[in-house]
Copies of this chain bind each other. A is one copy, B any other.
């Protein structure tokens, strides 16, 4: 039997949940998160129910608003100006195309718990960690990539003996997914922290490495001419997010002892991955929800007092 272990998201989330609950309890008013659901997919409803349950259990108010997709934009703008609401999230996909990206930008910067506003995303890509020059307001990181970073910290992939910002130095990580919501920001975040990242999508493989540009120290991107097999077998960590039931990452591409994380709702690994991986995290949803609430607390910190 392999010495590898499966680590559940609930266990990882617990640590953050305790921190979040303690912080929320110190606030004068219970923070309020609104989830807007304009998507009949039962998976979205289930995710909303989890968010609700977690929010309430940690001392947050949660309100689910269900609307027709044609009313979604108006609903977002209503929530933007409702001062009782601290944070807004929308359960995507709604239209499943460019219109969703437009709608993401409709959420007010000050209430964007998911960190999808262009300002936040652009700061993340440029490794800019504050919204203001005096460093009073922290920028918000997109919550799924942030959850994965926190999971990697928990699993010991980040080395705390190295300086902050260098803690993935020497690590090689393969990320299978290059969506704008998760895969590409994740590759950038990991590269910004010092890793060599192979970013894989259906068309090609790109290498993300931290650049040495001026003050930004943001990542650089190169075309990669290695095969997926070569990239994966040289990787300390493999992270997948392929939204497709029939997709399985080949177990023979996993290096013995690698850390393996799946962030898709679908199961991207066969069970035999446990015989190769040292640590296997089959899903991350609960950590993502914790990060939503953590971002909400940050938004409240950022708000004018």
**Segment of A100-108, A225-233, A244-252, A290-298 engaged in the interface with chain B:** A100-108
Q: How far is the CA of A98 from the CA of B104 in the complex (A)?
A: 13
Give the contacting residue for A118; candidates B98, B99, B105, B220; CB below 8 A: B105
- What residues of B have a CB within 8 angstroms of the CB of A180 in the complex? 97-99, 101-102
From 193 to 224 in chain A, residues with beta carbon under 8 angstroms from any chain B beta carbon are: 213, 220-223
A271 at the interface (CB under 8 A from B): no
Give the contacting residue for A121; candidates B102, B181, B213; CB below 8 A: B102
Main secondary structure of the interface of A (DSSP, over half): helix
Nearest chain B residue, comparing its CB with the CB of A96: B203
Give the contacting residue for A99; candidates B99, B184, B223; CB below 8 A: B184
Min C-beta distance of A209 to chain B, whole Å: 11
From 104 to 154 in chain A, residues with beta carbon under 8 angstroms from any chain B beta carbon are: 105-106, 118, 121-122, 125
- What residues of B have a CB within 8 angstroms of the CB of A74 in the complex? 213
Q: How far is the CA of A97 from the CA of B202 in the complex (A)?
A: 12
Copy total for this chain: 2
A302 at the interface (CB under 8 A from B): no
Q: Is the CB of A220 within 8 A of B98?
A: no
Give the contacting residue for A179; candidates B98, B179, B223; CB below 8 A: B98
- What residues of B have a CB within 8 angstroms of the CB of A73 in the complex? 125
Q: How far is the CA of A12 from the CA of B179 in the complex (A)?
A: 41
Q: How far is the CA of A102 from the CA of B101 in the complex (A)?
A: 9
A70 at the interface (CB under 8 A from B): yes
Give the contacting residue for A221; candidates B70, B179, B221; CB below 8 A: B70
- What residues of B have a CB within 8 angstroms of the CB of A181 in the complex? 98
Q: How far is the CA of A179 from the CA of B95 in the complex (A)?
A: 12
- What residues of B have a CB within 8 angstroms of the CB of A222 in the complex? 70
Q: How far is the CA of A101 from the CA of B180 in the complex (A)?
A: 9
Other A-B pairs beyond A97-B180, A98-B181, 9, CB < 8 Å: A74-B213, A97-B178, A98-B101, A98-B179, A99-B180, A102-B121, A102-B180, A105-B122, A106-B122
